[in-house]
Structure 1
Amino acid sequence: MTDLSDFLDTGALPAQAGALIERFRDADPAVRRIALLDLADIEDPALVPVLIAALRNDPSADVRFEAAQILAAWEQAPVVEALCTALLDNDRKVREAAAQSLSELKDPDAAAVLRRWVEHADPFVKQSALRGLRELRDADAFDPALAALANPHSGVRLEAVSVLGWLKDPRALAGLAALATTDTGADVRRAAVGALGFAPSGDRGVAAALIRALRDDAWQVREEAATTLGKLRAPATAELIAALDDDYWQVRLRATRALGQLRDADAAPAVTGLLTHTISNLRKEAALALGEFRIRASLDALRTALEDPDPEVRKAVRIAIQQIEEATA
């Protein structure tokens, strides 16, 4: 059981809180857990020290777990500090609840606490602090995130990539490009490939890394590489055409979409061949890409595809025909 009196300014507490706080002296952790939930329902900032005390001091992991979840609604510096400390709790579910609450932070002022915890030696603490920093877009997180790209733990590198992808600082491009092609973790390579989407379209180093990633052993990385090449409109028509024969239809679909974004009519013959593919999503994407090419030579094949059994494909075909006819009138 927990005696919270040492942590409270009782004069500042709402009237209905007294009886609930008294229940924290109960030996039954279920009673204390329900009292904690009832306190949270009051939603009074004067009760935040109670929640923090429960997280730090209650002997029951169930109570600490509940406190870690409840504290996600409060973003003062003491709360962020307490949640970071709970990343070292001896119970896994408490640690994970604290990490989840930190990932939901929205107040930029929380970044100062998180940056300090990024320096912690424990990999779980480090990656959880980085995850909390991600959406805060804190410019001062750049240096610790860049340094974390070299961390031996893949989970830390993955979160560091996410932070750098959100910050969109060009100084990170070389490091991200290196991870995109050399990291031992496929999930890290995929994240790095996606994070490169903020690069200037003419960055040759990034384009070379993405083209190499288009031949990665993991199809998820190849899929992401095709997506990012299209987003950047990088000159990779030949490589994307080759990807239309990938063993995975998901890669072929993203390569088709990327070719449409490039608007390179040299890809039209290869894309036209997909109008009769057995997978309807590929037929739809091929039609949309042909519309982006805007060449009259595609019209015959598209008009034949108006008989496609899938209504979504037929809709895409009609859009493509309209685009071509308007562009070449």
Structure 2
Amino acid sequence: MHTETSALAQRLTDPDATVRRLAVMDVPYSDEEDTVALLLPRLADEDALVRIEAIRGLEGFEEPHVVEALAPMLLDSDSAVRKVAGEVLAELKETASAGPLLPLLGDGPAEVRALAFHAVRALRSPLAFEPAMNSLRDADAAVRKEAVGVLGYLKDPAAIGDLAEVAANDPDMEVRRTAVGALGYASNVSVLPALTRALNDSGWMVRDEAAQTIGKLRLSMAIPDLVRAMHDDYWQVRVKAARSLGLLKAEAGLPSLVESLTHSISNLRKESAIALGEIGDTRAIAPLEAALADPDPDVRKLARLALTAIGLAQKARAEGGQA
């Protein structure tokens, strides 16, 4: 065995926990090729800080035996260890890696189930669908939120009705917001009632998500609701409403967008300029020309681009008429 590796192996089992922790941190930088073999035993170390560093050292290794060893760390007696394990497991990329995590989705402490759902979310394992659906009414809000996230990634049409119900009625604002965002994969207008209701939600972040999702789905039937959202008490909601009105090329939004070109928040002025360019209505020319004197250089730039877009739209319509 290489002298350096031999010394490192001795440090990994040193009676002093600090020595073991520093040794674990050195493993990735050693000459030892099989770093996994050195780190796996440290997952059972009596010191929580050593276990944490071992978990971090195993990030990026997605061999089945590594995932199988990391999954139980979500059940560790130390909350900090559980948190780091959840973070590392959430970086998994292969759908097959969901296997060891699936048993943790159904029973056990709410924190563990929430961490497990978060870890399998991006893996898009079809086997996570049923546990996620069963957890939409869980007593714990964190579990419900992560279950909603799993369903949003899976994009299974069978979940749309349940997600719409959660978006409208869940008692937790963050769960409702996540459900509204998850509805962004819907392919029909069945989610319109849930999204328009969400535009009137008591939580501004839910309204913000709803305004964005409506534009993403190109739900033109919700244009009147988006126009009303342009007068929301929170400018963040107005920004998303402006973005969606532009995507929908909603001429009905013209007065509100023009008004927002002089709002005190520059982000709203920017989005309004972009939207007016996308709508392409000549009635926006004068307000956009006035915006060329805006104190924010980005607003001035976007106003110029919007004016160019309106000019091109006019030209295209004229050429189309001549044809």
TM over 0.5, shorter chain: yes
Letter in 2 for 1:213: A
Q: Aligned ranges for residues 229-240 of structure 1 at < 5 Å?
A: 229-234=214-219, 235-240=221-226
Show CA shifts across 1:36-88 (max 9, x none): 223333475644244222112x2111211111211223222222222221212
Worse-superposed segment, 37-46 or 97-106: 37-46
Across the aligned residues of Structure 1 and Structure 2, the Cα RMSD in angstroms comes to 1.9
Worse-superposed segment, 316-325 or 214-223: 316-325
How many residues align structurally? Answer: 314
Name the SS of the counterpart of 2:59 in structure 1.
helix
Identify which of 70, 83, 89 aligns with 2:76: 89
Q: What is aligned with 2:285?
A: 299
Q: What is aligned with 1:4?
A: none
The reply to whether residue 211 of structure 1 matches residue 196 of structure 2 is: yes
Question: Aligned residues: percent identity?
Answer: 44
Identify which of 5, 11, 15 aligns with 1:27: 15
Q: Aligned ranges for residues 307-322 of structure 1 at < 5 Å?
A: 307-322=293-308
Show CA shifts across 1:140-173 (max 9, x none): 2222222221221111111111111111111111
Q: Aligned ranges for residues 105-124 of structure 1 at < 5 Å?
A: 105-124=92-111
Q: Give the Cα–Cα distance (whole angstroms) in 2 for the partners of residues 166 and 43 of structure 1.
A: 40
Q: Give the Cα–Cα distance (whole angstroms) in 2 for the partners of residues 239 and 268 of structure 1.
A: 14
1:23–1:324 distance in 2 versus 1, CA, 3 Å: closer
Q: Give the Cα–Cα distance (whole angstroms) in 1 for the partners of residues 14 and 258 of structure 2.
A: 73
Show CA shifts across 1:234-271 (max 9, x none): 12111111111111111111111111111121221222
Identify which of 177, 186, 189 aligns with 2:173: 186
Letter in 2 for 1:34: L
Letter in 1 for 2:303: V
The reply to whether residue 265 of structure 1 matches residue 255 of structure 2 is: no
Letter in 2 for 1:272: V
Letter in 1 for 2:59: A
Q: Give the Cα–Cα distance (whole angstroms) in 1 for the partners of residues 263 and 76 of structure 2.
A: 54
Name the SS of the counterpart of 1:289 in structure 2.
helix
Q: What is aligned with 1:5?
A: none
Letter in 2 for 1:96: K
TM-score (norm 2): 0.91
Show CA shifts across 1:162-212 (max 9, x none): 111111111111111111111111111111111111111x42x31110110
Q: What is aligned with 1:150?
A: 137
Q: Aligned ranges for residues 54-73 of structure 1 at < 5 Å?
A: 54-56=42-44, 58-73=45-60
1:169–1:44 distance in 2 versus 1, CA, 3 Å: farther
Aligned 8 A contact 2:227 2:252 in 1: no
Q: What is aligned with 1:225?
A: 210
Q: Report the CA distance between 1:307 and its aligned residue.
A: 2.2
Q: What is aligned with 2:272?
A: 286
1:286–1:23 distance in 2 versus 1, CA, 3 Å: closer
Aligned 8 A contact 2:96 2:125 in 1: no
1:303–1:25 distance in 2 versus 1, CA, 3 Å: closer
The reply to whether residue 176 of structure 1 matches residue 159 of structure 2 is: no
Aligned 8 A contact 2:74 2:116 in 1: no
Letter in 2 for 1:214: L
Letter in 2 for 1:143: E
Q: Give the Cα–Cα distance (whole angstroms) in 2 for the partners of residues 43 and 122 of structure 1.
A: 40
Q: Give the Cα–Cα distance (whole angstroms) in 1 for the partners of residues 154 and 2 of structure 2.
A: 42
Q: Aligned ranges for residues 162-173 of structure 1 at < 5 Å?
A: 162-173=149-160
Q: What is aligned with 1:6?
A: none
Identify which of 7, 16, 29 aligns with 1:41: 29
Long gaps (5+) in structure 1: 1-12
Aligned 8 A contact 1:84 1:125 in 2: no
1:25–1:318 distance in 2 versus 1, CA, 3 Å: closer
Name the SS of the counterpart of 1:75 in structure 2.
coil
